[in-house]
Amino acid sequence: MHISSAEPARGREAFLVAEQVTAGYGPTPTIRDVTVQVGRGEIVCVLGPNGAGKSTLMKAITGKLPHMSGRVLLDAVDVSGYRNDQLAGRGLGYVPQVNDVFDTLSVLENLEVGGYLLPRAELAKNVERVTEIFPAIADMRDRTASKLSGGERKMVAIARALMLSPSVLLLDEPTANLAVELAGVVLREHVRRLADAGCAVLLVEQRALEALRVSDYGYILVGGSVEVEAPAEQLLERQDIGEIFLGRAYPQAMGRR
């Protein structure tokens, strides 16, 4: 089903569209009327202060949290209300901010769980394929996930999401708890490489400047709504915006509304 109103406002073919999504954990919405779009091969970042609703948006897109209103389109098909496994079958991968690997399983078992929709033969092939992307995994295969460092763990979490060769990948703070240098490597090399291979990447980040440097487009979420959106290079140039998305001007920003 093709839906004409899904035509992206910013002139790129949008592969993933969250349209006017309102969602929350109780009667009061946590995010309101949030619209974000990601095209194939694009990295789009969602920035904003702690508690702005970034993870909530990811959960609403991935079917972990029901919408109060709005819809999610994947390749122009309305997938609102789809379960996580149905979305995975349609090419949507998700690396959540927490609980991103199974602690008691080995690295290899984690990858295999990530490929649960695959036939056996393809499972082994895809373990090889993600190991080519993250060569360090070769030596870690038999280690229990709980014994991994923060960086290793995040690598396994991303590799696990790649097992199903997603065409869109949602990454919720992939560099949290990583040393600065490693965070740069994850964003500039791994995440960029996924986009260059044609994947649509929706990236939530606390490292706003680093994220904007690798992104094509950015949204700044404040208090559950999109406060500003623009091409990443324009956001990088704006002087007034740092205070808002770093959260320092958060009370003032809220007071303005």
Ligand X SMILES: Nc1ncnc2c1ncn2[C@@H]1O[C@H](COP(=O)(O)OP(=O)(O)O)[C@@H](O)[C@H]1O
Contacts with Mg ion in 91-110 (CB under 5 A)? 97
Among 4, 5, 28, 50, binds ligand X (CB under 6 A): 50
Least distance (Å) between residue 99 CB and Mg ion: 12
28 binds ligand X (CB under 6 A): no
The span from the CA of 69 to the CA of 92, in Å, is: 21
Please report how close the Cβ of residue 234 comes to ligand X at its closest, in angstroms: 22
CB of 129 to ligand X, least distance (A): 31
Structure tokens at 205: 């980040």
**Radius of gyration from C-alpha coordinates of the chain:** 18
**Partner from Mg ion, ligand X, none contacting 56, C-beta within 5 to 8 A by type:** ligand X
Nearer to ligand X, 30 or 80 (CB): 30
Site string for ligand X, 56-85 (x = CB under 6 A): x-----------------------------
Asked if residue 247 binds ligand X (CB under 6 A), the reply is no
Strand partners, 200: 168
> Of 51-59, 78-86, 187-195, 240-248, which part binds ligand X (CB under 6 A)?
51-59
Q: Is 215 in the site for Mg ion (CB under 5 A)?
A: no
Q: How far is the CB of 96 from Mg ion (least distance, A)?
A: 9
Selected from 55, 80, 110, 167, the binder of Mg ion by CB under 5 A is 55
Which positions touch Mg ion (CB under 5 A)?
54-55, 97
Residues that bind ligand X (CB under 6 A): 25, 30, 48, 50-56
